[in-house]
Structure 1
Amino acid sequence: MQEAIQQLVSLSQALGKPFDHPGLHAPVALVPNGVKLQDLEDLLPAPSRIRQKVTMLDADSFIEYVNRFATPATSVFCNGPEGRTFTAVLDYHQPATPAWSDHTASYCCPITVEWGRWKAADRKRMDQAAFAEFIEDNVKDIVQHDDFPAAPSAADMLEISRTLEAKKNISFRQGTRLDNGQVQLTYNEEIDGRAGESGQLNIPEQFFIGIKPFLGGDGFRIPARFRYRIVDGRLAMWFELIRPEKVLEEAYNAVRAKIKAAINEVPLYEATR
């Protein structure tokens, strides 16, 4: 490289003329108007190395891209269930060989529209009309579970949301005389609920939804508790997803196992870059 610089100095009078040397990755030239060193790589038939950063929308595309461009130096990094990002550095360095790491591909486990809708409504109290409308809009996601025969079907859940009637009963249990002479009354609050045109539907403790948390990922059957209360004389209804963070963790682990098995000998590391 020192020899190339000396030759550039000696050719300083030949401004604007391209200069090439075996030690340079591309021709260069001294350009008038301030005399700066101009890289002429863009005039070559092709770049001297790949510079590309692509973002994949599903795991299959990520796997296909990695397998197509992988070299012995390629490495894949993932940052766990919280970050849920996989990054492949196709031109990563080796122990004794530096590299530019300019060619990368990433997959960020984007969530599906279905998961986003259910997660946004999780534990959100609604009046009956709003809850029934939400169930109607997303009824195709409600599934049954063989191990829980009492879980409602999609049709049952829709009818329950539309026809549930509830009343509150309060019964006083006893009076307790306190040390200060006051009497404390304790009471039991019960809410009776009926659903269906003739009140023939049982009110479920929970129901199940079957969705894919990640775009292009595996599907999961997710339990949700069904809840209703009378608040200020009005019926409030909602659902509570059971351990949704665990669902995302399992979905991430499924994606990680799939990628690990499909990228052949390319190493996969749990790390951040």
Structure 2
Amino acid sequence: MQQALQHLVTLAQSLGKPIEVPGIPAPLALVPNGVSIESLEHLLPAPSRIKQKLTVLDAESFIVYVNRFATQATAVFCNGPEGRTFTAVIDYHDPAAPAWRDHVATYRCPTTVEWGNWKEKDRKRMDQATFAEFIEDNVKDITHHPEHENTPSAADMLEISRTLEAKKNITFRQGTRLDNGQVQLTYNEEIDGRAGEAGQLRIPEEFFIALKPFLGGDAFCVPARFRYRIQEGRLVMWYELVRADKVLEEAYNAVRAKIEGAINDVPLYEATI
């Protein structure tokens, strides 16, 4: 009986106090039902450690943030061209001791509006007027490639789009590929419901767009193939971005190289956390 009472006294004295148990590195405590523990950290002059998770919008901000807060324990993780996410854990585990990993900065390589516009319409067939409107709205991204002599400039593409808009009442008959890489479309203008004067429209086989896939990233020159079909005299047009996935991979690798070269001695790992 005396031993049982002594055991109860010992338990009562242990309530709310840490108990060291051999073989268990972390201390334990007896917590009675209905009793909670409240942290008084908010009454201190400053927090006991940084607890911050934020998302930055460009690589430059990510680099600046990492360099400002980095310690010997800081590590950066990236998950490849598909995930395109860079995560800096400022208070990551030191080889000599574990850490809480409460201070994290993330950069997810957000794509630009321009890239989204071109990717959204990639390989989608449009009627003559819709295609012309799209080209006119995004003509600022089109560029002449100096290594491809016959590729059109922005002004050339703007002229083509306005020609397509102007010639709505026409019936297309055929398309012929020319030696210079262009396609010549033959049509008849419709006058009072009848076939009128014949005409020709030349469109390029390929054009180039110059834009930044990632916000704040490098610009890339992306080839796009012109495609068309003549269906019952009506022209259906679209374009196909050439290896758009490869462009994103190259853009990611450029961002990776930029970050790795600018975060000093902070290690960078290809990993998912």
Counterpart for residue 38 of structure 2:
38
Aligned pairs (5 A) from 1:164-243: 164=164, 167-169=172-174, 192-193=184-185, 202-243=202-243
Q: Contact 1:167/1:192 (CA < 8 Å) preserved in 2?
A: no
Greater alpha carbon shift after TM alignment, 94-103 vs 35-44: 35-44
Counterpart for residue 266 of structure 2:
266
Q: Contact 2:174/2:185 (CA < 8 Å) preserved in 1?
A: no
Counterpart for residue 193 of structure 2:
none
SS of corresponding position for 1:249: helix
Counterpart for residue 163 of structure 1:
163
Q: Contact 1:194/1:203 (CA < 8 Å) preserved in 2?
A: no
Q: How far did residue 166 of structure 1 move? A: 7.1
Greater alpha carbon shift after TM alignment, 233-242 vs 112-121: 233-242
Give me the CA root mean square deviation. 2.9
Q: How far did residue 227 of structure 1 move? A: 1.2
Counterpart for residue 118 of structure 2:
118
Alpha-carbon separation, structure 2, partners of 1:131 and 1:77: 42
Q: 1:256 to 1:169 in 2, by over 3 A?
A: closer
Alpha-carbon separation, structure 1, partners of 2:203 and 2:244: 23
Q: 1:217 to 1:169 in 2, by over 3 A?
A: closer
1:30-83 Cα deviation digits (max 9, x unpaired): xxx943222111111111110000100000000000000000000000000000
Counterpart for residue 76 of structure 1:
76
Quick one: which amino acid aligns to residue 249 of structure 1? Answer: E
Q: Contact 2:174/2:230 (CA < 8 Å) preserved in 1?
A: no
Alpha-carbon separation, structure 1, partners of 2:147 and 2:199: 26
Structure 2: stretches of 5+ with no match in the other structure: 1-8, 18-32, 165-169, 176-182, 188-197
SS of corresponding position for 1:266: coil
Structure 1: stretches of 5+ with no match in the other structure: 1-5, 20-32, 171-190
Q: How many residues align?
A: 230
Percent sequence identity over aligned pairs: 69
1:115-159 Cα deviation digits (max 9, x unpaired): 000000001111111011101110100001110120011111122
SS of corresponding position for 1:54: strand
Q: Contact 1:228/1:235 (CA < 8 Å) preserved in 2?
A: yes
